[in-house]
Chain A
Amino acid sequence: MIVLRLALQSLQARWLTALLSVLAIGFSVMLLLGVEKVRTGARQSFADTISGTDLIIGARSGGVQLLLYSVFRIGNATNNVTWKSYQDIASHPDVAWTVPLSLGDSHKGFRVLGTTPDYFDHYRYRGKQQLKLAQGEIFEDLFDAVVGADVASALGYNVGDKIVIGHGLGSVSFLDHADKPFRVAGILEKTGTPVDRTVHVGLGAIEAIHIDWQQGAPIPGQSISPEQVRAMDLKPQAITAALVGLKSRLAVFRVQRAINEYPQEPLSAVLPGAALQELWGLVGVAETALAVVSAMVVATAILGMVTMILTTLNERRREMAILRSVGARPATVLGLLATEAGVLTLAGVILGTVLLYAGLFFARPIVDRLYGLNLDVSAPTSWEMTTLLVIVLAGLIAGLGPAILAYRRSLADGMTVRV
Chain B
Amino acid sequence: MDGVNFTWPGRPRFSLSVDRFSVGAGDRLLLLGPSGGGKSTLLSLLAGIVTPQKGSIDILGTDITKLSGPARDRFRAEHFGIIFQMFNLLPYGTVTDNILLPLSFSKKRRNNVEQTSSQAQEAARLLTRLGLPSDEVANHRAASLSVGQQQRVAAARALIGGPEIIIADEPTSSLDRARQKEFLSLLFGDIATAGATLIMVSHDETLAENFTHVRRLEDFAKMERGA
Chain A residues in the interface with B (C-beta under 8 A):
1-3, 5-6, 9-10, 12-13, 318-319, 321-332, 411-412, 414-417, 419
Smallest CB-CB A-B distances: 5 pairs = A327-B77, A414-B44, A13-B92, A327-B105, A415-B44
The residue in chain A whose Cβ has the minimal distance to the Cβ of B143 is A13
Known: A5-B97, A6-B93, A417-B87. A412 touches B44 (CB 8 A): no
Q: With a CB–CB cut-off of 8 A, which chain B residues contact A412?
A: 8-10
Tell me the bound Cα distance from A329 to B104 in angstroms. Answer: 11
* Contact among A9, A328, A417 for B105, CB-based, below 8 A: A328
A9 in contact with B9 (CB, 8 Å): no
Q: With a CB–CB cut-off of 8 A, which chain B residues contact A324?
A: 49, 73
A327 in contact with B106 (CB, 8 Å): yes
**Cβ contacts B74-85/A at 8 Å (1 or 0 each):** 111110101011
Does B50 lie at the interface of the complex (its beta carbon under 8 Å from any beta carbon of A)?
yes
Q: With a CB–CB cut-off of 8 A, which chain A residues contact B103?
A: 2
Known: A331-B70, A332-B105, A415-B169. 7 other contacts (CB 8 A): A3-B101, A5-B97, A9-B92, A325-B47, A325-B76, A326-B76, A326-B157
* Contact among A321, A322, A330 for B73, CB-based, below 8 A: A330
Tell me the bound Cα distance from A248 to B90 in angstroms. Answer: 77
A417 in contact with B84 (CB, 8 Å): yes
Known: A324-B49, A327-B106. A6 touches B86 (CB 8 A): no
A327 in contact with B97 (CB, 8 Å): no
Tell me the bound Cα distance from A324 to B104 in angstroms. Answer: 12
The residue in chain A whose Cβ has the minimal distance to the Cβ of B81 is A326
Specify which of A321, A322, A415 lies most central, judged by the most chain B CB atoms within 10 Å of its CB. A415
A6 in contact with B101 (CB, 8 Å): yes
Residues 49-96 (chain B) with a chain A CB within 8 angstroms? 49-50, 69-70, 73-78, 80, 82, 84-93
CB distance from A259 to the nearest CB of B (A): 77
* Contact among A1, A414, A415, A419 for B87, CB-based, below 8 A: A419
Tell me the bound Cα distance from A87 to B214 in angstroms. Answer: 117
* Contact among A332, A415, A417 for B47, CB-based, below 8 A: A415
Q: With a CB–CB cut-off of 8 A, which chain A residues contact B84?
A: 321-322, 325, 415-417
Q: With a CB–CB cut-off of 8 A, which chain B residues contact A415?
A: 40-41, 43-44, 47, 49, 82, 84, 169
Tell me the bound Cα distance from A279 to B90 in angstroms. Answer: 62
Q: With a CB–CB cut-off of 8 A, which chain B residues contact A416?
A: 40, 84-85, 169
B contacts with A, residue count (CB < 8 A): 40
Does B127 lie at the interface of the complex (its beta carbon under 8 Å from any beta carbon of A)?
no
**Cβ contacts B92-123/A at 8 Å (1 or 0 each):** 11000100111111100000000000000000
Tell me the bound Cα distance from A9 to B101 in angstroms. Answer: 14
Q: With a CB–CB cut-off of 8 A, which chain B residues contact A330?
A: 69-70, 73
Q: With a CB–CB cut-off of 8 A, which chain A residues contact B44?
A: 414-415
B49 in contact with A325 (CB, 8 Å): yes
A327 in contact with B169 (CB, 8 Å): no
Tell me the bound Cα distance from A414 to B42 in angstroms. Answer: 10
Q: With a CB–CB cut-off of 8 A, which chain A residues contact B169?
A: 415-416
Q: With a CB–CB cut-off of 8 A, which chain B residues contact A417?
A: 84-88
* Contact among A2, A5, A325, A329 for B70, CB-based, below 8 A: A329
B87 in contact with A12 (CB, 8 Å): no
* Contact among B40, B91, B104 for A414, CB-based, below 8 A: B40
Known: A9-B92, A318-B87. A326 touches B49 (CB 8 A): no
B40 in contact with A2 (CB, 8 Å): no
The residue in chain B whose Cβ has the minimal distance to the Cβ of A332 is B105
The residue in chain A whose Cβ has the minimal distance to the Cβ of B101 is A326
Tell me the bound Cα distance from A331 to B70 in angstroms. Answer: 9
Tell me the bound Cα distance from A417 to B82 in angstroms. Answer: 12
Q: With a CB–CB cut-off of 8 A, which chain A residues contact B10?
A: 412
CB distance from B217 to the nearest CB of A (A): 14
* Contact among B87, B91, B102 for A326, CB-based, below 8 A: B102
The residue in chain A whose Cβ has the minimal distance to the Cβ of B74 is A327
Tell me the bound Cα distance from A416 to B91 in angstroms. Answer: 17
B47 in contact with A411 (CB, 8 Å): no
The residue in chain B whose Cβ has the minimal distance to the Cβ of A14 is B92
CB distance from A339 to the nearest CB of B (A): 15
The residue in chain A whose Cβ has the minimal distance to the Cβ of B89 is A322
Specify which of B9, B80, B104, B157 lies most central, judged by the most chain A CB atoms within 10 Å of its CB. B104
A414 in contact with B97 (CB, 8 Å): no
Tell me the bound Cα distance from A324 to B180 in angstroms. Answer: 26
Q: With a CB–CB cut-off of 8 A, which chain B residues contact A321?
A: 84
Tell me the bound Cα distance from A5 to B103 in angstroms. Answer: 14
Tell me the bound Cα distance from A1 to B97 in angstroms. Answer: 10
Q: With a CB–CB cut-off of 8 A, which chain B residues contact A329?
A: 69-70, 73-74, 105
**A–B Cβ pairs within 8 angstroms, 23 of them:** A2-B101, A6-B90, A6-B97, A9-B92, A10-B92, A13-B91, A322-B101, A324-B49, A325-B49, A325-B80, A325-B82, A325-B84, A326-B102, A326-B105, A327-B78, A327-B102, A330-B73, A332-B105, A411-B50, A414-B49, A415-B43, A417-B84, A417-B86
